[in-house]
Structure 1
């Protein structure tokens, strides 16, 4: 088919008007989109197949591309991947038929900015266009270094991580950040937000594990004055506070199941009703979630809803651990030292070669956060401008042998048990011991075992301990 080349709907307008490319083989859809975009002051070009769209993309610069998923000469995903490879700064949104989410998720993972279901809602279209056109330009590496919030390092895992963050910032997709404690999950979430179309809107970070269960609904969704005793004024919850921006749900695995159901509904409907109100309010937030736990394992054990998991985990970002990026430790340590010295108002400090060697050999169970704590403790105790190996006071590496020696070997009776039954018996013994030591106070027992109370309840139910407790 021939290209409807350079169909400028508002040719009399200034050349600075945003230019949008529509790729669709349905004339009615093209006409609807053209009229809507023209009223918004946009210039429009259209193509009816992938081949013609590629020719237009090569001939001029666009600020946004809207493409159908089904085209005469191929799949819309092909065009999304082509744009991601050849026009990385161009946001592309896909139009999906019949409200199916599979194609939409595939497009988001391929690099699409967002998607529109058919029939196209003009309000959603206008909101999408405004959001896409507000995307900041992709940052160069030098601009990234100037940024206050940046993940430092030149190792291969860190370079890959920053490239992925830049890609995710050009999308509206929900992101799930996995990784060990202290690996920088919240920092990665803030970087995604600050490089996204929502960068001028709020970033609201919530630690899901720090909110009492009986306060969760009011904290997330808000309440109206007089809704309950103590509600002395209207309160916007986290969703309304983050409206237009990004809501970061840290330690999302700690949400109780009852709250997971309510959260799922809000994400699906994009509507929030404050406690004490009868009317719902529309909210537009991008959800970024994180946890140090294996969320897929929480789904398997029934601690986390599968449908919510798929809503949150559209795209997963895995944070590398510091022990996999040892070559980055000197750069990170230097930056941390500069920051700590500046905050303390003391002269700049440096690390001796033996101190750097020791820092590079350490395994960091707490990752970058532990490195920061080590250096902060060192500065508090060392008043020299040069920090040596002894000043770091790192624990010795020979710490695994005693742990191996204290592992309880199975008895003759237990040796005949299947592995899972043996592990269940060990787990049961540990729980019973913790309960006895804490006089069956489950909160204290859970703390002793290093797990949450909800996890303890689940394990007790699975092992048949609820009757006794």
Structure 2
């Protein structure tokens, strides 16, 4: 049996109710938690235990969370830190991120957002971990990709990261940042497809209290929060034309004006952008501004799809199964040779993300810890190296076959929009009611 210990999280807060809430929530995520009421207790625990993540309040009886972040960065650099604070101000957001915090939350704590933050923080390796251990694969396309990332990291140029959904574009962007001179400054990723169009300007540039209905206090924009660091515009092709004009101006002028504000604020950010769409095609169709395209596409870096690096599938599968075993505390499932052959001949429209989801399902449902080809539930239309029209002789049940395709498309849309159901429905041109019905039908709600 796998005896690898659970990942450890240090909770630092002087309010017992908050500590209990976080402890229960993280316990349900199968994480081991330790509590501290102040900076001194936290520092003592950090000397005795090896933690993966620290969640700390901003205001503590004997100091501040910011001081604790700085202490951890100096003494325990492999520990990710996130701030939980009741003071949602521009100064706090920028200070904790610049000090090295992974992210921050505001009170009252949104548990869904908390779980997302914790999951993301625990997936990010320490900066000291080499690029070859974070971007797995020994194929020629991956060796070339790592070489280009290292070169681009030293540049200040805007990089357009192209590639299919699930291929690892955000990981590539983070690696560029972590290898760059801006590594100690914030890395902020914006999913442009997941933000309602009427909120985009406020999210990008911030707003002043009272500038519109619901603006009950000043809020910094993501450009200001990323000041000194790197800003990733993920799914940038989905920005409406009206917002593209404002984004172009911010990039050109290197300054922003918040909604309701009167003055320009200078910002120093390196822009990286990513999309699964072809920006050149979007420009030709009139859906993307040609001047913004040339601002963003200074250097293009293409992330290869998984089907172009089939030699990496065995290594990736082994890594994923070991990680799943560590998460569950159970022995890793084995891939039957025929299952591995099936994976190598599959086209993977969802790329590495699809491989992860597929193996997680198979790891859970397989018998005797051995994954057979049938446990993978591969979509027939994507089997075979060349794909094409599915072989009708291999389809036993048309309804089940079509439902499998529909479920895969729903999952892809949800993952592209980070499980924002409204944005995913728009991506698939479905009404929200129709989307909700399908999510319930396939158990994805």
Corresponding residue pairs, total:
272
Q: 1:401 aligns with which of 389, 393, 403?
A: 389
2 CA distance for matches of 1:448 and 1:241?
A: 28
2 CA distance for matches of 1:299 and 1:282?
A: 29
- Residue 255 of structure 2 is aligned to residue 267 of structure 1: no
Give the conservation status (yes or no) of the 8 Å contact 2:363–2:369. Answer: no
Asked which structure has the greater RCO (Cα within 8 Å, sep 6+), the reply is: 2
- Residue 207 of structure 2 is aligned to residue 223 of structure 1: yes
- Residue 138 of structure 2 is aligned to residue 154 of structure 1: yes
Aligned-pair CA distance for 1:353: 1.6
Question: What residue is the counterpart of 2:13 in the other structure?
Answer: none
Task: Give the match's secondary structure for 1:181.
Answer: coil
- Residue 279 of structure 2 is aligned to residue 285 of structure 1: no
Q: 1:359 aligns with which of 343, 346, 349?
A: 343
Aligned-pair CA distance for 1:447: 5.8
CA 1:402/1:355 → structure 2, altered by over 3 Å: closer, same or farther? closer
Task: Give the match's secondary structure for 2:233.
Answer: strand
CA 1:168/1:451 → structure 2, altered by over 3 Å: closer, same or farther? farther
Task: Give the match's secondary structure for 2:273.
Answer: strand
RMSD of aligned residue pairs (Cα, Å): 2.7
| 1:311-326 → structure 2 map (5 Å cutoff) | 311-326=295-310
Aligned-pair CA distance for 1:247: 0.6
Question: What residue is the counterpart of 1:213 in the other structure?
Answer: 197
Aligned-pair CA distance for 1:343: 1.8
Question: What residue is the counterpart of 1:144 in the other structure?
Answer: 131
Aligned-pair CA distance for 1:395: 2.8
Q: 2:374 aligns with which of 390, 394, 401?
A: 390
2 CA distance for matches of 1:380 and 1:169?
A: 39
2 CA distance for matches of 1:143 and 1:400?
A: 39
1 CA distance for matches of 2:427 and 2:262?
A: 43
2 CA distance for matches of 1:274 and 1:142?
A: 37
CA 1:142/1:232 → structure 2, altered by over 3 Å: closer, same or farther? closer
Task: Give the match's secondary structure for 1:356.
Answer: helix
CA 1:395/1:229 → structure 2, altered by over 3 Å: closer, same or farther? closer
- What's the TM-score once normalised by structure 1's chain length? 0.55
- Residue 313 of structure 2 is aligned to residue 338 of structure 1: no
CA 1:211/1:452 → structure 2, altered by over 3 Å: closer, same or farther? farther
Aligned-pair CA distance for 1:142: 8.4
Task: Give the match's secondary structure for 2:286.
Answer: coil
CA 1:287/1:347 → structure 2, altered by over 3 Å: closer, same or farther? same
Question: What residue is the counterpart of 2:167 in the other structure?
Answer: 183
Question: What residue is the counterpart of 2:23 in the other structure?
Answer: none
1 CA distance for matches of 2:235 and 2:132?
A: 28
2 CA distance for matches of 1:210 and 1:395?
A: 27
2 CA distance for matches of 1:169 and 1:351?
A: 37
1 CA distance for matches of 2:266 and 2:430?
A: 34
| 1:110-259 → structure 2 map (5 Å cutoff) | 143-146=130-133, 150-259=134-243
1 CA distance for matches of 2:332 and 2:299?
A: 41
Aligned-pair CA distance for 1:400: 4.1
- Residue 294 of structure 2 is aligned to residue 304 of structure 1: no
Unaligned runs of 5+ residues in structure 1 are 1-140, 405-443, 454-469
Point out the structure with max Rg over C-alpha: 1
Task: Give the match's secondary structure for 1:172.
Answer: coil
CA 1:302/1:280 → structure 2, altered by over 3 Å: closer, same or farther? same
